[in-house]
A and B are shown apart, each in its own frame.
Chain A
Amino acid sequence: MFELLQQSLFSGLLVGSVYALVALGIALTFGAMKIINLAHGELVLLAAYMAYVIESRTGWNPYAAIPLAFAVTALVSIAIYLLIERIREHRELNSLILTFAIGVILTNAILLVFASDVRSTNSPLLQDAVSLGSVYAMNSELLAFVVSLLVMAGLWWWLRNSWYGRAVRAVSSNRDASMLMGIDPRRVELAAFIVAGILASVAGVALYTMSVVQPALGPALTVKAFVVTVLAGVGSIPGVFCAALLLGVTEAMTVTLASSALQELVGMVLFLLVLFFMPNGLFGARARRG
């Protein structure tokens, strides 16, 4: 029994780290700009397919695809922002619909270009098993864990130490007042979207190396990421990481102790419980105002 739990705890942590990677981009645009980018899952997916393109064409390690993936996701991300920027009324609701529409467009574009086949890495190096004591993992999973830790730290540092982080939040808090501070709202928001693009590109490549991708995956990724974001509490980047790990572990434990058919159920119940009893999320310090 102990061995069983040990392995599932470990697996849960690794899966959680990918949830975190996917969630960070959403957490950034939502936490900072109150804009939920419903096309974020598709951005991640797009990056994953770039990894597939690079791997299948050149045989290189999928991680070599990060520059290409970044170029593509950043472009799409910028396009998304330029469209959102044109919305004047009811920005929060309308941007939701707009990004949803963009997600539909991307999903179908991916379907048209890459067909509905399932894709995943073939690199033996990444797929090889490693054991840490009595627990096992794929190389790619450990790598993704480390990458997600680094990315999280990087993002956290950026939001903390660059003027952008504060500025983005100021813009979403009060646009006019932020302009009076000398902030160019478009510039900082665009920067946030580009960073979200970077995050998506890394997440996509990591996803490709340790899981299976297919065109219809986008919305599921977005929802999971958003659940993690809310679980964490808006505005807390380390919180996203912890919440993602918690979700991963909870799911793995459900599989081990009960049935794998209940995994999603337990995840959702956990989410609701947190939402009702800790409306600010597990790590969100800020008051949520109506």
Chain B
Amino acid sequence: MMRNLPAAALLVAALAIPLVFGGNGYIMGLMVSGLIVAGVALAWALLGNLGGMVSFGHAAFFGVGAYTSAILSAKAGLPVPLSLLAGALGAALCSLVMLPALRLSGPYFALAILAYAHIFKILATELSSITGGSAGFQRFPTLPTIAGIDFSSRTGSYALLVVMVALCALVYRAVKRSHVGTALRAMAESEDATRVVGVNATLLKSWMLLLSAFITGLFGAMNAHIINFLEPDYAFSGNWSVLPIIAAIFGGYRTILGPVAGAVLIYLFDQIIAKELLPVGHQILLGLLLAGMILVAPNGLFGLFQTRRKGAPHAAA
């Protein structure tokens, strides 16, 4: 029971927020943006924790998901729920192009993905007949009303995102707890050792990349229909790569709830507290917070709470 306490607390908070702030478009807007980051942070952490791959380029999946969904819903008239799914699939499909990068390790992989993100961004700018180029792409459908719930309203979007984040967290948990998850954990630092006992490392890693891209694309697509405006600089902005990393690390990227809570907290801290204290250059506070966190609690907020599992890595000497 104790182990599920953080999850339960988060769930209660998630339910309480619309009850308390439901009328406040501002707070709900911040929550929605925070949850978008949370979804991407979860996807990033999944790849980082299970796949052992640090990515600097999740913006690629985010942007592709956003554009795919927006274009399909506007130009092909696909209903938005389907276009969201298509966006996620589009992002996953794109990650297939990145499979060669799986051969690379550590920073090389991170940088290769960054290069892909750049390439996709430039393509979105140059293929202006499809994407509208740098002028941007607007006038595509908002989130629909289904069964009486208007998902384009702040509270509606919020509810949708909470459910989606929760679903993704459950998928993540299932993978992590499976034997596949255990094998993946080992693979990051001892690839040969895992392969000689029969683990098909490349395949498992590919699946993780695909899954991570899928989730990121899904959130990119949802964000597009919430903001209702796309342009390459925004959809492929480095922010979509960087913020989730900060959030995940802050919350604890080896945990599942860490990235989620980290994203929301960081986002709210930055927008509500930091902006109040320092109207210009408030990110300096974010930087300080992050640096402090890494030094004081390298395993993140949730890592702090977690009782150290027996056999967890610990510093020798």
**C-alpha gap A96/B294 in the complex (Å):** 10
A211 at the interface (CB under 8 A from B): no
> Do residues B290 and A101 form an inter-chain contact, with CB atoms below 8 A?
yes
> Do residues A101 and B315 form an inter-chain contact, with CB atoms below 8 A?
no
Cβ contacts under 8 Å, A262 to chain B:
122, 126
Cβ contacts under 8 Å, A275 to chain B:
101, 104, 108, 111-112, 115
Residue of A nearest to B109 (CB): A275
Most buried by B among A92, A97, A102, A261: A97
> Do residues A290 and B105 form an inter-chain contact, with CB atoms below 8 A?
yes
List B residues 284-302 near A (Cβ within 8 Å).
284, 286-288, 290-291, 294-295, 298-299
Q: Does more than half of chain A's interface fall in helix, strand or loop, or is it mixed?
A: helix
Given contacts A96-B54, A275-B108, A275-B112, contact A111 B119 (CB under 8 A): no
B148 at the interface (CB under 8 A from A): no
Q: Which of A7-15, A82-90, A147-155, A187-195 contacts B (4 or more CB under 8 A)?
A: A82-90
Cβ contacts under 8 Å, A118 to chain B:
none
> Do residues B112 and A272 form an inter-chain contact, with CB atoms below 8 A?
yes
**C-alpha gap A97/B298 in the complex (Å):** 10
Q: Which of A197-205, A222-230, A237-245 contacts B (4 or more CB under 8 A)?
A: A222-230
User: How many residues of A are in contact with the other chain, CB < 8 A?
Assistant: 43
Cβ contacts under 8 Å, B122 to chain A:
261-262, 264-265, 268
Chain B interface extent, by class: 35 or more
Cβ contacts under 8 Å, B123 to chain A:
265
**C-alpha gap A135/B116 in the complex (Å):** 35
A271 at the interface (CB under 8 A from B): yes
> Do residues A101 and B280 form an inter-chain contact, with CB atoms below 8 A?
no
Q: Mark B169-195, 1 if CB is under 8 A from A, else 0.
A: 000000000000000000000011000
Most buried by B among A101, A109, A219: A101
B249 at the interface (CB under 8 A from A): yes
> Do residues B281 and A101 form an inter-chain contact, with CB atoms below 8 A?
no
> Do residues B284 and A105 form an inter-chain contact, with CB atoms below 8 A?
yes
Cβ contacts under 8 Å, A219 to chain B:
238
> Do residues B249 and A271 form an inter-chain contact, with CB atoms below 8 A?
no
**C-alpha gap A264/B246 in the complex (Å):** 26
The total of interchain contacts (Cβ-Cβ below 8 angstroms) comes to 119
> Do residues A87 and B294 form an inter-chain contact, with CB atoms below 8 A?
yes
> Do residues A36 and B104 form an inter-chain contact, with CB atoms below 8 A?
no
A104 at the interface (CB under 8 A from B): yes
B28 at the interface (CB under 8 A from A): no
B313 at the interface (CB under 8 A from A): yes
Cβ contacts under 8 Å, B114 to chain A:
223
B25 at the interface (CB under 8 A from A): no
A171 to chain B, nearest CB (A): 15
> Do residues A104 and B105 form an inter-chain contact, with CB atoms below 8 A?
no
B106 at the interface (CB under 8 A from A): yes
> Do residues A108 and B287 form an inter-chain contact, with CB atoms below 8 A?
yes
**C-alpha gap A108/B286 in the complex (Å):** 10
Most buried by A among B106, B115, B283, B315: B115
A2 at the interface (CB under 8 A from B): no
B103 at the interface (CB under 8 A from A): yes
> Do residues B125 and A261 form an inter-chain contact, with CB atoms below 8 A?
yes
> Do residues A276 and B103 form an inter-chain contact, with CB atoms below 8 A?
yes
Given contacts A262-B126, A290-B105, contact A101 B288 (CB under 8 A): yes
Given contacts A108-B287, A230-B111, A264-B118, contact A97 B126 (CB under 8 A): no
B218 at the interface (CB under 8 A from A): no
Cβ contacts under 8 Å, A268 to chain B:
115-116, 118-119, 122
Given contacts A219-B238, A265-B119, A275-B104, contact A90 B280 (CB under 8 A): no
Chain A contacts to B: CB under 8 angstroms: 30, 36, 83, 86-90, 92-94, 96-98, 100-105, 107-109, 111-112, 219, 223, 226-227, 230, 261-262, 264-265, 268-269, 271-272, 275-276, 279, 288, 290
Pairs across A and B, CB under 8 Å, 26 listed: A83-B291, A87-B294, A89-B298, A94-B294, A97-B245, A98-B291, A101-B288, A105-B287, A105-B291, A108-B284, A108-B287, A109-B281, A226-B107, A227-B115, A262-B122, A262-B126, A264-B118, A265-B122, A265-B123, A265-B126, A268-B116, A269-B119, A272-B101, A275-B111, A276-B100, A276-B101
Chain B contacts to A: CB under 8 angstroms: 54, 100-101, 103-108, 111-112, 114-116, 118-119, 122-123, 125-126, 191-192, 238, 242, 245-246, 249, 280-284, 286-288, 290-291, 294-295, 298-299, 313, 315
Which 9 residue pairs spanning A and B have beta carbons closest together? A104-B287, A105-B287, A108-B284, A101-B290, A108-B281, A101-B291, A268-B115, A265-B122, A88-B315
